[in-house]
Structures are given as C-alpha cells and as structure tokens.
Amino acid sequence: MINGLLILCAYLIGSIPSGLWIGKIFYKIDIREHGSGNLGATNTFRILGKKAGLIVTVMDVLKGTAAVLLAMLPAFSEATIHPLILGVVAVVGHVFPVFAGFRGGKAVATSAGVVLGYSWPLFIVLFFTFFLTLKLTKIVSLTSIIVSSVALIYSIVYYFVTGDFALFILVACLFSFIVYRHRANITRIKNGTEPKVKWI
C-alpha cells in the first residue's frame, strides 16, 4: 500500500508541467504551440527566454530529486521500494504528464534531478560536463546525449568500485530513454540541421 502510494506521488510530481504552467501563467503562451512543441527546458529557453528557461530547468530538476527523497520521509518509513525506482517513475511522469495530455519533455533535467537526489558527486560531474559541452557545441540535444554517456561510464566504474548495481541500472535505463527521446535530434545532427542555442 505504502509503496503504491509512493509510486503514485512520484508520478504526479514528475507530471508537473513546469514549462506549460510558467508559459501560461506569466507569459500567456502555450509553448506546445511554438518551437519544437516540447514542454522541456530547451523549448522554454527558445520560446520564453533565459529567465523562464532557468526557472523551468530548476523546477524539472527538483521534480526528480523530490521523487527520490520521498522514501526518506518519516511518513514513509515502512516503505520497501528503492528510491531510484521512484526517480524513474518521476521521469516517466515528466515525459508522459497526466496534467498535460501525456505530452511532456525529453527527460534530461528530471533525470539529472534523480541523480542529484541519489548521488550528488555524479550530479556535480554531469553539471560541469553539460555546460562545458554546451559551450563548445551550442547543441542541447548533442550535449544531453554526451552527458548521459558520461553518466553511464561513471556508473560502470562506480559499480566496480562500490558494487552499487542499482545506480548502474538507473543510469543505463535513463541513457537508453534519453537517446530514444532524441532520435529525431540525432537525425538532424547527422544532417547538420539541428538548431544551435544562442544564450551561452
């Protein structure tokens, strides 16, 4: 019962459509009708600007972190579910949000939030890798794929050092999910038609 409640809460947290709500409340714009039509931070930056993009990024990251930390709350002390499972559920909620017609983002920021809640050293590595790679490439999709690849390599090494198989499984799943969600972007990258950001 408690595990089921946690899973539901994690999904609902992940389903919070940050980009949609920020756009409609403060800008009177539905970002699904502009740019890529995506509800993630990248499209928010593109349509609403740097300030809104940063706010949505932080909100999307915190969704993943909050889901992971749910199981640590005193009210759920009897739960037996692994925190990373809740993180994955939140990512699913972000991609298929019940509050936005099941059309969400591409899982990058919320996945980062899951990592932050479970392994902050890995989050720090990925944080600097993201901005350095983005500074060099100017392509968010390519940067996201590279960062998820770095996370996968880190989790493999970390597994052999600490035996943390759960982190490896999580990162492997998120890596596969992120690459799958960016398959159209990969095609555009190969064709040299993927848009580049101008704010960094």
Question: pLDDT tens digits, residue range 55-88?
Answer: 999 999 999 999 999 988 888 888 899 999 999 9
Helix 165-181 to helix 140-162 angle (10° resolution) is 160
Q: At what angle do helices 165-181 and 83-95 cross, to 10 degrees?
A: 10
Interval 18-64: pLDDT, tens = 999 999 999 999 999 998 888 888 899 989 999 999 999 999 999 99
Distance CA 68, CA 168 (A): 16
pTM, rounded to two decimals: 0.90
Residues 18 and 56: beta-carbon distance below 8 Å: yes
Q: How far apart are CA 98 and CA 24, in angstroms?
A: 17
SS3 state of residue 15: coil
d(CA 90, CA 113): 10
